[in-house]
Every structure is written in C-alpha cells, then in structure tokens.
Amino acid sequence: MRHAALPAALLGLALAACSNDRVDQTPANPASPPPAPAAMEAPPPTGSLAAREAEGAPPSTVSYHCDDRTYTVAYEDDGDTALMQLDGRTLTLRTTPAASGARYADDDGNVLWTKGSDEADITVDGLPAQTCRTSVETAG
C-alpha cells in the first residue's frame, strides 16, 4: 500500500502546481481597461499653409512678387493643387484646363496661371490680374 500512496501524492502536487500557474497568469483585474497611450500633441489647425506643411513632407514652395504684394505658393499632390498664402489665409486652388502653362483656380474666382518657371498671372479677391515674377537671388 505504501507504493500506491506515493503516486497519489505526486499527482496531488502536480495538480496544485498547475493550479498555481493558472492563478499567476490571470490578470489582477480583468475588467480594467488597458493603459492609455501617451498623450499626443494636438494637431495644428487646418487651413494654413504652415499647418498643411506640418502634416507631411513639405511641398514645393515658390514666392511670386508683384508690384505691391508677395504670394507664397506651395504645390502639392504632384502639382494638382496650389496652396496660396494671402493675408494670413490660405487659398486652395485646383488645376483647371489651360491653353498654355498651368492654371489653378477656386470657386471664388481666385486664379494662379503660371507661365514658364518664373512668371505668373495672379487674380485674387476680384481684383484685376497682376503679372508676378519669382524671386531670383544673386550671389553678392
């Protein structure tokens, strides 16, 4: 009879060990939610050129100088969109058909019509079109 008690005792110890393993694997409070991710910075406000540039890779940017104004234009979406900075706001202009050059316009009548790589006709806020040129920096 002594030999039969030994396997029974070993079986009891093995079951007790398995039982403890299950308790150790159970989370302390299964109803608690997972920890919150680290606080993220709020995204910059949309609509401004700076905010859009912060969202991704910087677009190709050109400054056009007219008689009394300078317009900063960022080209995005492989040249399908022109974001024109004007008096603290950004106009979103989309490509439109043009006989020559590249023409961008919005529903409000604002137009950017480029001619070659250094000149553009710009119409904003219902004012007559202005012919503008890109700036050229020379080594002094």
Prediction pTM value: 0.55
pLDDT at residue 5 tops 70 = no
With 0-12 / 13-18 / 19 or more C-beta atoms within 10 angstroms meaning exposed / middle / buried, residue 58 is exposed
List pLDDT tens digits, range 26-65: 555 556 555 555 545 555 555 555 555 555 555 588 999 9
Going by the DSSP 8-state scheme, the letter that residue 125 receives in this structure is T
Contacts (Cβ under 8 Å, ≥6 apart) of 88: none
The percentage of the chain sitting over the pLDDT mark of 70, rounded to a whole number, equals 54
Q: Which residue(s) pair with 103 in the sheet?
A: 96, 113
140 pLDDT tier (thresholds 50, 70, 90): very low
The C-alpha atoms of residue 34 and residue 17 are separated, in whole angstroms, by: 29
Is residue 2 classed as helix, strand or coil in its secondary structure?
helix
* pLDDT of 48: 55
Domains and CATH numbers, the chain: 49-134 (2.40.128.200)
List pLDDT tens digits, range 67-120: 888 999 999 988 899 999 988 899 999 999 988 889 999 999 999 999 888 899
